[in-house]
């Protein structure tokens, strides 16, 4: 792996950092408190190229690759705001459609995602299922030139926003197929957003499909190969995206802790001069660096065309734990002040547990890794 970033990668990293500092950081606490991302945020992201980092240039993207996307996502995640979830959703969907979609699907859906005219979603989970494809109850029944979809999907990020979503359902063969569904079409409805412990503004909803008509041309990838597509999407996109956002937040936790330790005095001395605080800061820095380079390596391998299902699960497992550990140590540095909403670490602490769980719990990741190791 070449540890030197290219000129393009450095530019993307810089643009993302400047955008985060100007547009997100000043209102991040407000977004969390009011549970709402400003309506114009998506278009602002699109204008600086954050929504199509890995999308083909012919459809309005930068075609900069997976590692470049991770560099941008790390900067957006640093703000500890749900804004990084929009960056993830659109880039992930662009990447999936480019990889599995037909020319017609690419032409229809990628450009609006890059422009911020649509917000993408992925819908697999259901109320009574976890990651078990045999337990899916959403069905897709052929009807002429259409499939008719019926079912309920749970915890669907941005499921209430217009744009394409990749929905998984049992087809007429009993296998699981993927479909591109235009959200908010006839028969499509959602619940109110779930109240989350962390990352306010992340619109996570249940989706209800009642006789939703989906053109057969919107079958996504080979018929009955939905699980293969899901494994690719979660491996290349979702798990790495959440891992690098965790790294960004962990770095913010360390930076906040260093700043606090240099300012906070006890008995006339800054607490940064005490060995116990220094050891916490050193441990945090070491864990973050390991997590960062592990995630960068996954992005590098993905850019080489490697199917990184095992590596992505290992990354998600390791980085998820690091994020929670670093947030806990940062809270220790801040003491009682870290428990107040006046300090950013309180927001980071809540968000880290969410990131450890979402896109597959640690138990799911261990199961995937073990099965691959012994196969």
Q: Which residue has the tokens 């999907």?
A: 153
Compute the Cα dihedral for 87, 205, 214, 184 and give only its sign. negative
Which tokens belong to 323?
A: 């994020």
Number of helices and strands in the chain (H, E): 12, 10
**56 close to 110: Cβ distance less than 8 angstroms:** yes
Beta-carbon neighbour count of residue 345 at 10 Å? Answer: 23
Which tokens belong to 120?
A: 């993408």
The phi, psi pair for 205, rounded to 5°, reads -130, 165
Catalytic annotation, pick one of 104, 356, 359, 363: 359
* DSSP state, residue 223: T
Question: In whole angstroms, how far apart are CA 97 and each of 120, 138, 149, 232?
Answer: 11, 22, 20, 12
- By CB atoms closer than 10 A (0-12, 13-18, 19+), residue 113 is buried
Compute the Cα dihedral for 3, 9, 11, 13 and give only its sign. negative
For the CA atoms of 195, 321, 244, 279, what is the dihedral angle to 10 degrees?
Answer: 120
Which residues are bridge partners to 214 per DSSP? 147
Beta-carbon neighbour count of residue 315 at 10 Å? Answer: 26
Which tokens belong to 358?
A: 């979402």
Which tokens belong to 108?
A: 């229809």
- Three-state secondary structure call for residue 141: strand
Reply yes or no on whether 359 is catalytic: yes
CA 117 to chain centre: 19
Count Cα neighbours of 369 within 13 Å in the Cβ-side half-sphere. Answer: 15
Q: Report the catalytic residues.
A: 359
């Amino acid at each position: 792996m070449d540890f030197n970033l290219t000129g393009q990668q450095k530019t993307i990293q810089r643009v993302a950092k400047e955008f985060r500092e100007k547009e997100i950081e000043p209102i991040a606490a407000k977004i969390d408190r009011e549970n709402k991302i400003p309506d114009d945020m998506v278009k602002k992201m699109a204008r600086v190229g954050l929504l199509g980092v890995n999308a083909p240039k012919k459809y309005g993207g930068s075609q900069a690759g997976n590692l470049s996307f991770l560099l941008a996502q790390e900067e957006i995640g640093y703000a500890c705001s749900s804004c990084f979830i929009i960056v993830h959703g659109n880039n992930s969907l662009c990447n999936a459609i480019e990889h599995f979609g037909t020319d017609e699907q690419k032409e229809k859906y990628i450009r609006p995602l890059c422009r911020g005219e649509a917000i993408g979603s992925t819908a697999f989970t259901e109320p009574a299922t976890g990651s078990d494809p045999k337990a899916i109850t959403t069905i897709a029944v052929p009807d002429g030139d259409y499939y008719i979809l019926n079912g309920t999907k749970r915890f669907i990020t941005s499921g209430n926003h217009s744009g394409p979503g990749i929905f998984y359902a049992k087809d007429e063969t009993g296998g699981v197929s993927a479909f591109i569904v235009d959200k908010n079409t006839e028969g499509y409805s959602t619940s109110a957003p779930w109240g989350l412990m962390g990352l306010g503004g992340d619109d996570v909803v249940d989706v209800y499909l009642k006789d939703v008509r989906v053109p057969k041309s919107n079958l996504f990838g080979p018929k009955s190969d939905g699980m293969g597509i899901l494994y690719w999407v979660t491996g290349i996109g979702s798990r790495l995206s959440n891992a690098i956002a965790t790294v960004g937040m962990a770095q913010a936790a360390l930076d906040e802790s260093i700043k606090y330790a240099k300012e906070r005095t006890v008995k006339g001395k800054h607490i940064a001069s005490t060995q116990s605080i220094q050891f916490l800061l050193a441990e945090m820095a070491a864990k973050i660096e390991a997590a960062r380079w592990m995630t960068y390596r996954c992005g590098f391998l993905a850019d080489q065309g490697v199917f990184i299902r095992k590596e992505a699960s290992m990354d998600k497992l390791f980085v998820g734990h690091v994020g929670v550990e670093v947030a806990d140590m940062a809270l220790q540095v801040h003491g009682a002040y870290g428990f107040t909403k006046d300090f950013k670490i309180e927001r980071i602490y809540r968000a880290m547990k969410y990131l450890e769980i979402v896109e597959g719990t640690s138990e799911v990741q261990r199961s995937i890794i073990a099965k691959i190791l012994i196969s």
